[in-house]
Amino acid sequence: MSEDLKIGIAGLGTVGAGVVRLLAERAELLVERCGRRLEVVAVSSRDRGRDRGIDIGAMQWFDDPGALAVSADVDVVVELIGGTDGVALDSCRAALAAGKPVVTANKAMIAHHGASLAEAAEAAGVSLGYEAAVAGGIPIVKALREGLVGNRVERVYGILNGTCNYILSALSVSGEAFGDVLAEAQRLGYAEADPSFDIDGIDAAHKLAILSALAFGSLPDIDAVYTEGISHITPLDTTYAAELGYRIKLLGLATVTDHGLEQRVHPCMVPLTAPIAQVEGVFNAVITEGDFVDRTMFSGRGAGGGPTASAVVSDLVDIARGLRLPTFGVPVADLRSLPAATMAHHIGAYYIRLTVVDQPGVMADVTAALRDAQVSVKALIQHSHDLGDGASVVLTTHENREDSMLQALAEIAALDTVLETPCMIRIEQL
CA 138 to CA 173: how far, in whole Å?
A: 26
Count of residues in contact with a second copy, rule CB under 8 A: 54
Q: Helix, strand, coil proportions of the chain in percent (round to 5)? A: 40, 25, 35
Element (H, E) at 347: strand 347-357
Question: Interface with a second copy includes 371 (CB under 8 A)?
Answer: no
CA 272 to CA 241: how far, in whole Å?
A: 9
Question: Interface with a second copy includes 156 (CB under 8 A)?
Answer: no
Q: Among 86-94, 239-247, 252-260, 286-294, which window interacts with a second copy (CB under 8 A)? A: 286-294
Q: Which of 84, 122, 235, 298 binds a second copy (CB under 8 A)?
A: 298
> Could you give the string, one character per residue 238-277, with x where binding to a second copy holds by CB under 8 A and - elsewhere?
-------------------------------------x--
Cβ pair 168, 248 in contact under 8 A:
yes
Q: Among 188-196, 220-228, 254-262, 324-332, which window interacts with a second copy (CB under 8 A)? A: 324-332
Question: Interface with a second copy includes 148 (CB under 8 A)?
Answer: yes
Q: Which of 108, 168, 213, 279 binds a second copy (CB under 8 A)?
A: 279
Q: Is 378 a catalytic residue?
A: no
Question: Interface with a second copy includes 149 (CB under 8 A)?
Answer: yes
Question: Interface with a second copy includes 12 (CB under 8 A)?
Answer: no
CA 423 to CA 178: how far, in whole Å?
A: 14
Identity of the residue, 146 or 372, whose beta carbon is nearer to a second copy in the bound complex: 146
- DSSP secondary structure letter of residue 1: -
- The amino acid at residue 406 is L
Q: Among 32-40, 199-207, 247-255, 355-363, which window interacts with a second copy (CB under 8 A)? A: 32-40
For 142-245, list the strands marked E by DSSP: 153-159, 226-227
CA 289 to CA 41: how far, in whole Å?
A: 41
Q: Which of 2, 174, 257, 278 binds a second copy (CB under 8 A)?
A: 278
CA 191 to CA 225: how far, in whole Å?
A: 23
Cβ pair 289, 428 in contact under 8 A:
no
**What secondary structure does DSSP assign to 130-150, as a single string?**
-GGGSSTTS-HHHIIIIITTT
Q: Which of 48, 50, 152, 385 binds a second copy (CB under 8 A)?
A: 152
Helix, strand, or coil (residue 226): strand
Identity of the residue, 110 or 391, whose beta carbon is nearer to a second copy in the bound complex: 110
- DSSP secondary structure letter of residue 15: H
Question: Interface with a second copy includes 218 (CB under 8 A)?
Answer: no
- DSSP secondary structure letter of residue 416: T
Residue 134 C-beta: closest distance to a second copy, Å: 12
Q: Among 54-62, 114-122, 138-146, 393-401, which window interacts with a second copy (CB under 8 A)? A: 138-146
Q: Which of 100, 107, 142, 207 is catalytic?
A: 207
Question: Interface with a second copy includes 142 (CB under 8 A)?
Answer: yes
CA 97 to CA 94: how far, in whole Å?
A: 5
Question: Interface with a second copy includes 129 (CB under 8 A)?
Answer: no
Question: Interface with a second copy includes 131 (CB under 8 A)?
Answer: yes
CA 84 to CA 113: how far, in whole Å?
A: 8
Name the residues that contact a second copy, by CB under 8 A.
Answer: 18, 22, 26, 29-30, 32-35, 131, 137-139, 142-143, 146-152, 217, 275, 278-279, 290-301, 306-307, 309-311, 313-314, 317-318, 321, 323, 325, 329-331, 334
Q: Which residues are catalytic?
A: 207
